[in-house]
Amino acid sequence: MRGHDKIILKRITADNVRIISSILGQSIALDHYGRKVDNMVNIFSDLNQGMEKTGTFTMDRKELFKVVAGANSTLADVILRIGILERSDAAWKDAKYAALWEILRDEFELEQRFASFDFKLEIIQHNVRFFLEVLQNRKSAFLEWTIIFLIAGEILVGLYQILHDLGYW
């Protein structure tokens, strides 16, 4: 039976306790990782606002990679370590435990919270792609200018040799 802030069971069994503790643990872990993702979203929000104001990107490649790695490890942790998408063993074996598992997942809104979490990670991934492209374009522009200066230097050396051979120098 379900109520506000409490659950009443006919009997306390090890499987009941496992299911309840599993859902509570998943809920707490999702809150923890949700705060981490919110911090990452805030980082990108600040970067976007700074870029909107100044037109430049200030984060270096190493810091961006750290944020990317954090987003990837957070998603992996939520899916693999806390098993947010997996049903408990007791819920697979017995319908009454499956019902308890479903009720608690609904009560704690785990699926909706995970969907929100996943959406925020998609926003982060979109931002990561954008900023990696900015960094790549920056590097490409530097390399293009380097090539232009090298070609210009080669032309000047060639002109000098031609003028020197003709006796002008």
* pLDDT one-digit tens code per residue, 124-159: 889 988 888 888 888 898 999 999 999 999 999 999
pLDDT of 37-63, one tens digit each? Answer: 999 999 889 989 988 999 887 777 788
pLDDT of residue 148: 96
pTM above 0.85, yes or no: no
- Decide: 104 and 23 in contact? Cβ < 8 Å: yes
Least confident of 65-74, 148-157, 160-169: 65-74
Residue 55 φ/ψ region, left for φ over 0, alpha for ψ in the -120 to 50 degree band, beta for the rest: left
Q: Is the pLDDT of residue 3 over 70?
A: no
What residues pair up with 45 in beta bridges, in sequence order?
none
Radius of gyration of the chain from Cα atoms?
29
Does the structure show a pLDDT above 60 at 20?
yes
What is the per-residue pLDDT for 63? 85
- Strand 2-3 and strand 6-7: pairing? antiparallel
pLDDT at residue 1 is higher than 50: no
Most confident of 16-30, 68-82, 86-100: 16-30
**Number of alpha carbons in the 13 Å side-chain half-sphere of residue 78:** 26
Helix axes 110-165, 61-76, angle to 10 degrees: 150
CB atoms inside a 10 Å sphere around CB 9: 11
